[in-house]
């Protein structure tokens, strides 16, 4: 009997950890969403010397996370999660999300990564096509039983990490400097993820205006390494 109980407990523990493994895989830099190709307008900001070092990068990303697209993505992800079983509502959320994007490149960034995520998700779950990335991640997490709060925190951290990686290559900054910026932003990420828990779709929007303008400027930037 003790052996049976031990095996049962081990299997339960393994099952409980499976959602964490899913989340780590989906939001890993190695997951083929093409996130490495997007700078979210940072490339323009760096070219005009708005971002030159760790301090200016941290200040820029703080605004994006607390007042800009990362906050809006958190709201969209949560509503995608809560409506994962209703394709018509997901389409409405997707339409609103795309209408709220401030530039063509931001729209392409959200849609292209969402489509790539859906294709790569095939071994785990099926999600509707043409969902912006944040909405697709939320819907997939719900269908796999991954906690909503964990998904939101992990998504915002992955988003932030991707932009730091772009800045490390563009400024350039050292890897250690990039990690220091990420460590400094993690408490802010947790606060924003928690604040969006009660947010409605009416709360979408932000005031990280220079980040939005950077995305628009990037569309006509002469020399570009990134797609946004």
Cis omega before residue 158 (within 30°)? no
111-120 mean pLDDT: 97
Q: Is the pLDDT assigned to residue 78 strictly greater than 80?
A: yes
- The candidate with the shortest Cα–Cα distance to 131, out of 64, 215, 33, is 33
CB of 130 closer than 8 Å to CB of 114: yes
Task: Tell me what pLDDT residue 184 has.
Answer: 98
CA terminus-to-terminus distance, the chain: 60
DSSP assignments along 185-196, one per residue: HHHHHHHHHHHG
Domain 35-218: top CATH class: mainly alpha
Q: Can you list the alpha helix ranges (DSSP code H) found in 68-147?
A: 69-82, 87-99, 104-120, 133-143
Q: Provide the mean pLDDT of the chain.
A: 93
Domain boundaries in the chain? Answer: 35-218
Confidence band for 7, pLDDT divided at 50, 70 and 90: very low
Q: Is the pLDDT assigned to residue 176 strictly greater than 50?
A: yes
Other C-beta atoms within 10 Å of 181: how many?
23
Q: pLDDT digits over 27-77, tens only?
A: 999 999 999 999 999 999 999 999 999 999 999 999 999 999 999 999 999
CB of 65 closer than 8 Å to CB of 191: no
111-139 mean pLDDT: 95
Of 15 and 199, more confident: 199
Percent of the chain exceeding pLDDT 90 equals 87
105-121 mean pLDDT: 96
Q: pLDDT digits over 81-107, tens only?
A: 999 999 999 999 999 999 999 999 999
Percent of the chain exceeding pLDDT 70 equals 93
């Amino acid at each position: 009997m003790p052996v049976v109980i031990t095996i049962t407990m081990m299997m339960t523990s393994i099952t409980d950890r499976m959602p964490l493994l899913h989340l780590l895989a989906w939001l890993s830099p190695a997951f083929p969403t093409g996130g490495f190709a997007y700078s979210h307008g940072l490339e323009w900001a760096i070219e005009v010397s708005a971002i030159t070092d760790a301090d200016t990068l941290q200040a820029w990303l703080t605004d994006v996370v607390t007042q800009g697209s990362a906050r809006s993505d958190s709201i969209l992800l949560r509503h995608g999660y809560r409506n994962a079983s209703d394709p018509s509502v997901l389409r409405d959320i997707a339409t609103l999300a795309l209408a709220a994007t401030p530039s063509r490149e931001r729209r392409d960034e959200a849609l292209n990564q969402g489509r790539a995520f859906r294709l790569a998700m095939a071994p785990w779950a099926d999600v509707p096509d043409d969902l912006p990335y944040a909405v697709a991640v939320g819907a997939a997490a719900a269908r796999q039983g991954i906690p909503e709060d964990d998904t939101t925190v992990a998504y915002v951290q992955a988003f932030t990490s991707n932009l730091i990686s772009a800045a490390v290559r563009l400024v350039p900054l050292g890897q250690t400097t990039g990690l220091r910026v990420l460590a400094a932003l993690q408490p802010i990420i947790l606060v924003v993820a928690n604040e969006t828990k009660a947010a409605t779709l009416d709360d979408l929007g932000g005031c990280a205006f220079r980040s939005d303008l950077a995305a628009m400027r990037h569309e006509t930037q002469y020399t570009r390494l990134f797609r946004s």
